[in-house]
Amino acid sequence: MKTYIVGNWKLNFTVGEASIYLHKILKNLPAYRDVEVVVAPSLLALQPLSLQVDRRKMKLAAQNGFYRDYGAFTGEVSFSQLRGIVDYAIIGHSERRYVFREDDKMIAKKVEAAVRNRITPILCIGETESERAFGETSDVIRDQLMGGLRDVSDDDLDKVIIAYEPVWAISSTKASKLATPDEISEVVKLIKKNLTEIYGAKLADEVPILFGGSVNPSNAGAYLTVPGVNGLLIGGASLILSEFIDIIDTAKRVRS
Ligand code: PEP
């Protein structure tokens, strides 16, 4: 299985800035066959960047998309419109869940629409700080995982990526709010167990599981060596050229 390094640029960079930044990343990045590098710029930048990106080195992801293909849905962009522009889409990010109130039902429809349009969904799941404190982590993980994959058939499971992103560890500056490899390992096992229960071990084993939550060049190596972790979803550090390249290099090193 490849190692995935996914940079989520969130609401950062104008189209011009995004284009310059992409150019710099491409200049510093060899084409690694076993490391899949993906960046998720803002929606507005996707189309021009799709003409600029060298897909042998890097792929593009949408940060969101709408599940209906067309119609009276003011302000939305559908996965059918994104088809051909992006290879991946981040779905169910905690900011979509908690700022924009997306629930598992809506997330499931988005996952289905992405798969239908040949875009690989990166389904984000993860517990909040209080859910962890109340011992609800395993229930939350199961509900978000099974809720999000509700409409994914056995045949389509290999078109899906799961990202475990504990909400409490996202954009954290405090060491105490960083997930430890043991904490991640425990949840990754839980994800595999749930996938196995529904889809069987053979199919479940093929699903890449990424970790996200304040990944930076000094913790990337440790996170990438957690058993069952197949890559990283990175916010803040993906906006800094040297850090993003460093993490990609770490991924390459860890694999070899
Ligand atoms: C994210 O938003 O998906 C994320 C993991 O952000 P950060 O790396 O900044 O914590």
Say which residue the tokens 């039902």 belong to: 105
pLDDT score of 139: 98
232 C-beta closer than 6 A to ligand 1: no
Catalytic, 93? Answer yes
Q: Is the CB of 171 under 6 A from ligand 1?
A: yes
Q: What is the mean pLDDT of residues 111-116?
A: 98
Residue whose pair of structure tokens reads 């996202």 in the numeric block: 170
- 224: confidence class by pLDDT, cuts 50, 70, 90: very high
The pLDDT of residue 70 is 95
Helix (H) or strand (E) holding 152: none
The pTM is what? Answer: 0.97
256 has a pLDDT exceeding 80: no
Q: Model confidence over 18-44: pLDDT tens digits?
A: 999 999 999 999 888 899 999 999 999
* Per-residue confidence (pLDDT) for residue 30, from 0 to 100: 87
What is the model's pLDDT at position 173? 72
Q: What is the pLDDT of residue 219?
A: 96
Model confidence at 122, pLDDT cuts 50, 70, 90, reads very high
- Domain architecture of the chain: domains with CATH: 3-255 (3.20.20.70)
Averaged pLDDT for residues 201-212 = 97
Protein residue with its CA nearest to atom 3 in ligand 1: 235
Distance set, CA 114 to CA 64, 111, 198 (Å): 10, 5, 21
Q: What is the average pLDDT across 79-95?
A: 97
Does ligand 1 have an atom closer than 6 angstroms to the CB of 233? yes
* CB of residue 215 inside a 6 A radius of ligand 1: yes
Residues 66 and 77: beta-carbon distance below 8 Å: yes
CA distance to 9, 54, 78, 245, per residue, from 15 (Å): 12, 17, 20, 21
Tell me the two tokens of residue 17: 């800035």
Distance 243 CA to ligand 1 centre (A): 14
Angstrom distance (rounded) from CA 178 to CA 116: 35
Annotated catalytic, 131?
no
